[in-house]
Chain A
Amino acid sequence: MTEGSPAPAIEISSMSKWFGPFQVLDDIDLKVMPGERIVVCGPSGSGKSTMIRCINGLEPFQKGRIAVHGQELIQKARTLDAVRKNVGMVFQQFNLFPHLTVLDNCTLAQRWVHKVPRAAAEKIAMAQLEKVRIPEQSRKYPSQLSGGQQQRVAIARSLCLRPKVMLFDEPTSSLDPEMVREVLDTMADLARDGMTIICVTHEMGFARGIADRIVFMDQGKVVEEAPPAEFFDKPREARTRKFLDQVVR
């Protein structure tokens, strides 16, 4: 590693994936530098969620390679654990643990995976809940919170493990419209703090405001990759233009 050319946070090279005979990802190349904010968009079924799920090993892939902070992803328990320690993930359906309080949701992995003592874990959890502006709910159960609050807890839960990269898989898609803003604001805070972010979303306003680069996918391929100004104002590809006509009004 020489100075002046820092190692990429995530490097995906010629990665392909099949579900049975159906190819969902076709020769994906993507390099994300530390601190970069990437928004991945595209029509449904374009493979964008599948791609980011490959990055922390939730989905296996059959060809190519993925490296996260230099650590190559292999479908072996030990290397997966090492990669997952660096990568946080936020899901469309929040996936909070319903049997635990908000605080316990945020401390469980700290205590069992990272072996942080309870008191210290709770302190870290409260600091992160503070950051997503929801500390007063720490004793409640997920079912007692609104969708937006639950998603902010899910973000805090990931941040407690001090990941170097955060993956967001359509984080606002199952929220009521009036709750989208609070989650996007939380993500914007995170972006300002210098977190490396890859976010699959249909929120084009967020993409324009926050992203360093937008990756447009269609039919399992990366069709176009450009900074937001360029992407929205003069897209190169016909398919990108067609997509933008449909989603941006």
Chain B
Amino acid sequence: MLDYLTSGWGLQFLRAIGTSLTVAALSFVFCILIGILCTLLSRNDFRGSASLVNLYTYVFRSLPDILLLILIFYSLDGAIQSLLNRLPGSSDIRLNAYVPAIMSTSIVLGAYATELFKAGWADIPKGQFEAGQALGFTRVQSLVLVILPQVYRKIIPHLGSLSLISMKETALLSVIGIPDIVRTASIGARSTGSPFVFYGIAIAIFVIFAILCSRVFAYLESRARAGAQ
């Protein structure tokens, strides 16, 4: 195994880890933003917004990820390309494949995040909103200072699993040609004829990530629990 790693595959894998981590981290952040935004929308007085959010989470949680990724990837890619082509003098811009990739994973994961935030939000007693109002907070202040910190504390264990899922989701990117960990492993396996070594390395990377992740979230959880409940 060491032979492979020193003969250039090590570097390939490091790059692939960088790629996967970047995509995972960015889509994790974006899916949380989507989750908060959709929760606010579904709590909005405007009638259509709640059903729109429901439709979104329903569709994206019920269809297989890979189907959606391919669908979103190609339609987003096409849409962004044609938008860029309309701009004068920019016809030769090629879009980085990561942009639609990260967007599509964020949209898929955002559906899960939305359900999480909605559930956490529903757990906050009405009195918390009223106390915020009575103390004179603006809506945004009350959201950021009072409500979201409490939602965070309620859903933090689930955010841990969401972070694992966002890492796993990067494996799907190999389908759309992005050199993530899985794609690197499969190229290596095919070109060297040692599938067990290469897929073994990929598995090890995911397991190590999962262990580190659960450590981080265990720490965050213990901090969030301080007194509050």
Task: Given A113-B135, A144-B227, verify A95-B145 contact (CB < 8 Å).
Answer: no
> Which listed residue, A77, A81, A85, A99, touches B150 by the CB 8 Å rule?
A99
A105 to B226, CA, bound (A): 15
Task: Given A95-B127, A141-B228, A143-B229, verify A84-B133 contact (CB < 8 Å).
Answer: yes
Decide: B134 and A112 in contact? CB cutoff 8 A.
no
A143 proximity list for chain B (CB < 8 A): 227-229
**Does chain A have a CB within 8 A of B82?**
no
A93 to B130, CA, bound (A): 11
Decide: B228 and A98 in contact? CB cutoff 8 A.
yes
Decide: B125 and A112 in contact? CB cutoff 8 A.
no
- In B95-123, which residues have CB < 8 Å from any A CB? none
Decide: B134 and A98 in contact? CB cutoff 8 A.
no
> Which listed residue, A85, A91, A101, touches B131 by the CB 8 Å rule?
A91
**Does chain A have a CB within 8 A of B157?**
no
A91 to B229, CA, bound (A): 19
> Which listed residue, B131, B136, B138, touches A161 by the CB 8 Å rule?
B136
Least distance between A57 CB and chain B CB atoms (Å) = 8
B128 proximity list for chain A (CB < 8 A): 95, 97
Decide: B228 and A109 in contact? CB cutoff 8 A.
no
**Does chain A have a CB within 8 A of B149?**
yes
**Does chain A have a CB within 8 A of B56?**
no
Query: Counting chain B CB atoms within 10 Å of each CB, which of A58, A101, A109 scores highest?
Result: A109
**Whose C-beta in chain B lies nearest to the C-beta of A80?**
B133
Task: Given A89-B134, A91-B130, verify A112-B150 contact (CB < 8 Å).
Answer: no
Interface string of A118-152 (1 = CB under 8 A from B): 00000000000000000000001111100000000
**Does chain A have a CB within 8 A of B44?**
no
- In B212-229, which residues have CB < 8 Å from any A CB? 224, 226-229
Decide: B135 and A161 in contact? CB cutoff 8 A.
yes
Least distance between A110 CB and chain B CB atoms (Å) = 9
A144 proximity list for chain B (CB < 8 A): 227
> Which listed residue, B137, B138, B145, B229, touches A98 by the CB 8 Å rule?
B229
Interface string of B129-168 (1 = CB under 8 A from A): 0110111111001000110011001000000000000000
**Whose C-beta in chain A lies nearest to the C-beta of B150?**
A99
A98 proximity list for chain B (CB < 8 A): 150, 228-229
Q: A residues near B, CB below 8 A?
A: 56-58, 77, 81, 84-85, 87-89, 91, 93, 95-99, 101, 108-109, 112-114, 140-144, 157-158, 161
